[in-house]
Structure 1
């Protein structure tokens, strides 16, 4: 028996080296390609290839299915603490603009191109939803965001979220979104944070939308549009919760009405008077997001003024 075993081992040892090594390079190439395509860890890619019998397409399909299943389950796990890092994304088109907040667990992930692509996809989906909806203002909850159809194939945003979670290895969430429309006017936007500005979706840790109009009919001039951007910057900096009226007197340090707050560039003058004295820019409504804050259930706001 021992002689037979030694003979078998000896025969294997004398086999040409190419017979033992020829299968290794293709497997390694497939592993590298699958990792590059999906961004999944090496061990998970190896498991996918083993399950698929080495077929790259089947392995990629299995990884996507697992990412959807496991990633989405992690997102809705009961009792899981809310992820508070992430980004606010702002996108405008014509007389409308949309703003979204997508959260992750670390700012490292928020800085990755894949996470930022998810924020951009969400912003585009919300703006598309806005264009087909009625009204001038609307807020979307997480469950509403998840059901938006996005991308070239019209997949659910929740599916893209699950895939991103599988690839990035962190729990992500679609926190909230909103849009403003300004018929006869424009929506000024502003974002603040560490993300370099780059069209078309602006991103940061703070964002604001302000529905504005000029003193008369017709498109407002460039200087009023720039003034609108400064109002959006004011909204980010001073965090008002109500609109107020252009006739409001200057409030104190705790003033929460936008038009009664001291103008950011001239604190001794209420913002309503500041705008009236500089061309008559009208402010109809606004929306402000701060990444990681606890969104109010019913955001307090005055009824928007009627566009001129």
Structure 2
């Protein structure tokens, strides 16, 4: 038997003994204000449509969207992030910049309902609006034309600002997108609209259910512009570029499979850092919980807490409103 010179003197378990003690010494927590709820709006629906691969998530109509935004505001979330699915798509994503396009109408509806109670954020990318499903304009031989795409992004930013967006989320991973959008907003007098740069967005398998949600037309993949999952140091370069170009917030996406990258970015970024718990991460938790293999609430809490622990200042998660409700119950 091993003898301890001072048995009982050093016992870390003392700080785990009760819920009150664990709460007192907890290093990281999750607050509703740190959560952002992604919302989908589908043109042409008569009522909300469930997304089969994302149980509990729907494609909203413009009529059902206000209630979801109001619920998010009542839950004291930090914001909502809007994605839209148009009925008509074309090569350059015309509907992305149309004032009566579904995303710009959804922004206006959400901004009106939110009334400043939360940050209305909009996805700034062409993939939902193009008939080829890529995040930009294509060349004659089928490659994504980076600089032609930047022109469309600037036009999108102005349309979203005019509709009432507080923040535009640049998710396309085009080189120079942050600087071009920032300049376009500033020159148009929309200098108070914030820019969220998806700085480290990886070409991930975990986006599968999202592509169902937006009815993606993509054939092939996005590996020529989204980051290689093997690369960690490259994320620091991408973040530095976006910050230099004027990003107000930078993002790591996906979150759970890239916690090392998130921790690196959080340790060095001079601006707030977001992380996106993406559709595949959501679907895995829901599927495992439905099968009885994990405790659903604990798994949701732990997954978001781990993203916060890695350094995210706020987290985009489809569980945001529900999680905020649980957090509120803790302190009643």
Which TM class, normalised by the smaller chain length?
under 0.3
Whichever of the two has the greater Rg, that structure is 1
- What's the TM-score once normalised by structure 1's chain length? 0.27
Q: Which has the higher strand share?
A: 1
Normalised by the size of structure 2, how large is the TM-score?
Answer: 0.25
